[in-house]
Amino acid sequence: MKMIARQKLWLTIVVVTNLVLWIVPSDVVEQIVRDRPTLLGRYSRTHFYWIIGMAMFSVVTLYIDWSIGAEYKRRWFRVLASLMILTPSMLFVDFMLRTPQTGHYIKDELAYHRQPNISVSVEFEDRPKAALTYPNAPQGYASIPCTLTTDTRGYRNTTDLDQYDVIALGDSFAEGSGVSDEHPWPVRLAEKTGLSVYNLGMSGYDPLHYLASLKRYGKDLKPEYVVCMVYEGNDFRSAKTDRKRMKPSISKRVEAYFKQSPLRRAIDGLLIGTFGSVGSSASVNGIDVIDWLPLRIPAGEIGKAYAFAPKQLRDLYESREAFEVDKHWLNPRGQILQINTLCQEIGAKLIVVFAPTKAHVMLPLVGNNLPAEKVRAFTSMSVKKELPRSDVLLRNILARTESREKVMGDFCRSESIDFIGLTAYLRQTTLEGIQVYFTYDQHWTPVGHIEAAGAIAMSFEKNEIAQLNISN
């Protein structure tokens, strides 16, 4: 059949579009530093989905367009009829495959939580999730057999009392990510002090949820102390962000529903499992930008390896003056005040703990030996605005590393709230060659939790709480 002008034009558009998608690669170096899968050694997951989607779309449209007259209309009808049958069928199958465990959490309220009364055992491995990763990637922390047990409220506790001496608030650093039930710092704090400690930590929480969980569950447990751990990495959020999360738009709800789709996850796993390792040993253009990572601290045989994301350097670059008026600090600052007010109402003393990012702890230990140009290129992956020249940027990052911790500490002290900064404790242990953070995961190792518990226990001791029995 001789092609008409319309068919020639559409064939050209389809071929060019598909070729461009295949020829132009994703930023593979950025995929590596964000520990995201790279498919065929060239494409991000989103890019590869576009390639597949466009290929399927091209086949269908060429099938329709490669006809004229009555056959053209019949093919349109066949395609539309197939879509009308397949779409609701797939939605029905997806709905039937969903279970209460699909989203891992019960989100019936702001203080969401896990399934109550469950016990799940897994083997946590500290290694890159993606097959294509840092050149000569060192081995991470030893694998850990992990058991996660929840109580009747859906929080990670193995006791169920009517009253607790201490309530722990926090995110995954309090709940304990990558560690077993006996490792999280609230458990270690109870061991060190002899106090009963209830852990309200939950992965994904931030100050908005800390306040909500204290209102919903914590205050009824009549604590004497509330220890609120604020993680530097993602606990600083604006009021606008909180409002969107409290009342998400329809598009956000649809997006969240889609992300929890069992079918989507199955397809995702199949694609990554099939194409994620292909090309993972090939050379990558520009990989030298990140050949200084993971950092090894201290130098020598006892040093441990630590990797982190560009966002952590971006945050450290912010000056103290800028952070003091930053909407991402002003909002959680107000929430800390609300937590303190609630503590006063129930007769509890608030203690705020600052949990630093991995880069915050590590960078000053090796900062003067870092390649400034590469640090700048690495940081720019998470910064939209123009950065200063490399030597100035690195100097500013090192000079401003403690800014957020100092701002929060000064604020808490001005409000007569006890404050504990964990940076110095974690930094000293790191210099001794003891691994406090996992190599690739952002969270603390069991040793990191012990260090955090020890610092918090010392704060109790300084307050001369009579019933404490601090152990070494």
pLDDT at 472 over 50: no
Our CA dihedral for 462, 464, 467, 470, rounded to 10 degrees, sits at 30
For 142-200, write each residue's pLDDT tens digit: 999 999 999 999 999 999 999 999 999 999 999 999 999 999 999 999 999 999 999 99
Q: Average pLDDT of the chain?
A: 92
pLDDT at 256 over 50: yes
Segment among 145-154, 258-267, 332-341, 443-452 with least mean pLDDT: 258-267
For 132-147, write each residue's pLDDT tens digit: 999 889 999 999 999 9
- State the DSSP string of 274-339: HHSSTTTTS--TTGGGGTT-SEEESSSTT-EEE---HHHHHHHHS-HHHHHT-HHHHHHHHHHHHH
Cα dist from 151 to 146, 171, 181, whole Å: 17, 17, 12
Q: Which two tokens stand for residue 284?
A: 């990558």
pLDDT at 101: 57
Residue matched to tokens 């060659």: 433
For 416-430, write each residue's pLDDT tens digit: 999 999 999 999 999
When comparing pLDDT for 468 and 464, which is higher?
464
Residue matched to tokens 């490399």: 390
pLDDT at 29: 95
pLDDT at 16: 96
Domain range 119-247+280-462, CATH class: alpha beta
pLDDT at 471: 38
- How confident is residue 465, by pLDDT bands cut at 50, 70 and 90? very low
Percentage, residues of the chain above pLDDT 90? 80
For 34-79, write each residue's pLDDT tens digit: 999 999 999 999 999 999 999 999 999 999 988 888 998 999 999 9
Q: Which two tokens stand for residue 220?
A: 């009824």
Percentage, residues of the chain above pLDDT 70? 96
| Residue at 329: amino acid letter | W
Phi, psi of 395 (to 5 degrees): -65, -40
> For 367-443, where are the E strands, in sequence order?
418-421
The secondary structure of residue 159, as a DSSP letter, is -
- State the DSSP string of 200-261: ---TT--HHHHHHHIIIIIGGG--SEEEEEEETTT----HHHHHHHHS--HHHHHHHHHHT-
